Amino acid sequence: MKKESHLKRLLDYAGGYRYLSFASWILSAVSAFVALVPFWYIWKIIKEVLSVAPHFSMAENLAYNGWMAVGFSVTALLIYIAALMCSHIAAFHIAANIRIQTMEHIITLPLGAAESFGSGKLRKIVNESSAATENYLAHRLPDKANAIATPIGLMILLFAFDWRLGLFSLAPVALAFLIMQRMTGEKMRYKMTEYQNALADMANEAVEYVRGMPVVKTFGQTIFSFKRFKDSIDNYGKWVIAYTKELRMPMLLYTAAINSVFVFLIGAAYLFWEQNTDNEFLLHLLFYIIITPIISVTLTRIMFQSEDAMIVEDAMKRIDSILQLKPLAQPQSPKQPKDASVMLYDVTYSYDGQKNALEHISLQIKSGETVAFVGPSGGGKTTLANVVSRFFDVEKGKVLIGGVDVKEIKKEALMDHISFVFQNSRLIKASILENVRLAKPWATREEVLKALEAAQCMDIIEKFPQGIDTIIGTKGVYLSGGEQQRIAIARVILKNTPIIILDEATAFADPDNESRVQKAFSKLAKEKTVIMIAHRLSTVVGADRIFVLKEGKIAEQGTHKELLKQQGVYYDMWQDYQTAVNWKVQKEGRSI
């Protein structure tokens, strides 16, 4: 099956605006032909000057020919502007449609699949890859039509006056073209992919580093944590320097070849001057000296168009890397959960298809029960919560919510059944009211206020003159991590779903905020099924059951007291936790 060209795919995104793209190419080509007409009038000016020399006052048509040259130059410019207007309108619609389609597809993906890309890389693909197509369509393609039309017109001019000088003018062009092929071949395409990969890695590491700054500062790991970001910058720098050195000699030879046309013309003049001492040969020689710089400009434009074509090809591949991800499958005959129970039967899941993050997990959480997932880092706690909420689809086994397989529940219905509070709750740049209303857009102000009160947020509201209309973000106020967490809890209270997942929700809260957050949790958890993921074991002591996960398996389960009696993994974790809580720094024999 023949692969569809990238240009055809781009034009498919244009819809009815594709005809503007075609019009831009035609207008740009016409502009190229019209732009050569002034050189004809310049030739006539030179001819008249040479014919009357040294009696220049006898030249009668200089002004007319000059104004005609100016007129055609302006006409060519206006036609080219019209071409760019057409190409830009089409390009903007194509870039917008690519972003819309990509974002619409991202919305259909499992949340875990989108998260695995990395937020920086995903944003770069959506924004910069679509922007690369805009530059290509708006500028490079009209310029390509112009660059194709210009040599055709030039060939007519070069051979119309003196075919011998025409051949000498084209000799360095042929040499430069061969060198250009060396720089813009298959190797260049591979290098362009490497370049985009290096940029994407650097952008992703930058975003992740900035977002992780609170953690970095908390644990005083600034220099160490900077290493990955610095490595990505160093790798990019090494690549750029190596690539620049690799192209140094070819680019030097290309520049020398394309600008050596005057050397060839001088050689031709020396060779043919004795045979042509009349003014006509001098006229042609002067004309060729004036017009030949167009050749170097045209060839250079072609070279950059080849580079941009590779950039677009790479951009489309990156966009395809998103579009080719399978969306979350939606059931043909959706079912509604009967209650707030959660059951897992022999669930296995792996991120990379090799090592299992979860392995043969079976458990049952009754409706209204509060359970906790604890265990060493990397044990599978968050992954288990992710498969319950269908951020990922399990590879083996089943996940049931209210007795119904999550794959048989519509995504919207599932999200109406489960709420989340993450350790890094994100608020948008909007008012506190609008942030809470994200959970229930039709909620009244009174309902939002009740949710904020239940989430222990009234101290936050009362300290701002605008109350719940206070804007959060760069154009408003900034909240602490604990305060943001309480606003996020208010969202969940307002949404009022039967199942709640708390993922390290008090990880970075200060003691005062942690106390308020815990009170908010007690309000939130009433008559709900609650799944808690925690490292602070003190927060899960009162759970109905605790599941201890280790290496993707359930190592132990039971209440806090039952697990301590077993003296297994949980017992060791509790002893380590108690040691950490009671740890004091000793200085000069005194506790601090």
Round to whole Å and give the CA distance between 320 and 14: 17
And the tokens for 370?
């509060």
Please write down the HEC assignment for all residues of 273-335.
CCCCCCHHHHHHHHHHHHHCHHHHHHHHHHHHHHHHHHHHHHHHHHHHHHHCCCCCCCCCCCC
* Residues 372/500, Cβ–Cβ less than 8 Å: no
Torsion, CA 384, CA 385, CA 388, CA 392, rounded to 10: -70
| Residue type at position 285 | L
What pLDDT is stored for residue 95 in this prediction?
86
The pTM assigned to this predicted structure is 0.61
What pLDDT is stored for residue 30 in this prediction?
92
Task: Provide the total of helices (H) and of strands (E) in the chain, helices listed first.
Answer: 23, 12
Altogether, the residues listed in the chain come to a count of: 592
CATH code, 6-323: 1.20.1560.10
What pLDDT is stored for residue 207 in this prediction?
64
Q: Per-domain residue ranges for the chain?
A: 6-323, 368-383+410-582
How many CB atoms within 10 Å of residue 60? 9
And the tokens for 410?
């519509």
Q: Which residues pair with 471 in a beta bridge?
A: 431
DSSP, collapsed to helix, strand or coil, labels residue 382 as: helix
Per-run averaged pLDDT (10 residues), the chain, 592 residues: 64 83 91 85 77 71 86 92 92 87 82 65 76 81 82 72 68 71 63 70 67 54 62 78 77 74 71 62 69 69 66 79 80 86 89 79 90 85 85 86 89 86 76 89 90 85 87 72 81 88 66 66 77 81 88 88 88 82 49 44
Under DSSP, the state recorded for 409 is: S
- Report the chain's C-alpha Rg in angstroms: 35
Exposure string for 346-360, b = 16+ CB within 10 A, e = fewer: ebbbbeeeeebbbbe
Round to whole Å and give the CA distance between 428 and 443: 18
CATH code, 368-383+410-582: 3.40.50.300
Round to whole Å and give the CA distance between 580 and 374: 17
How many CB atoms within 10 Å of residue 415? 15
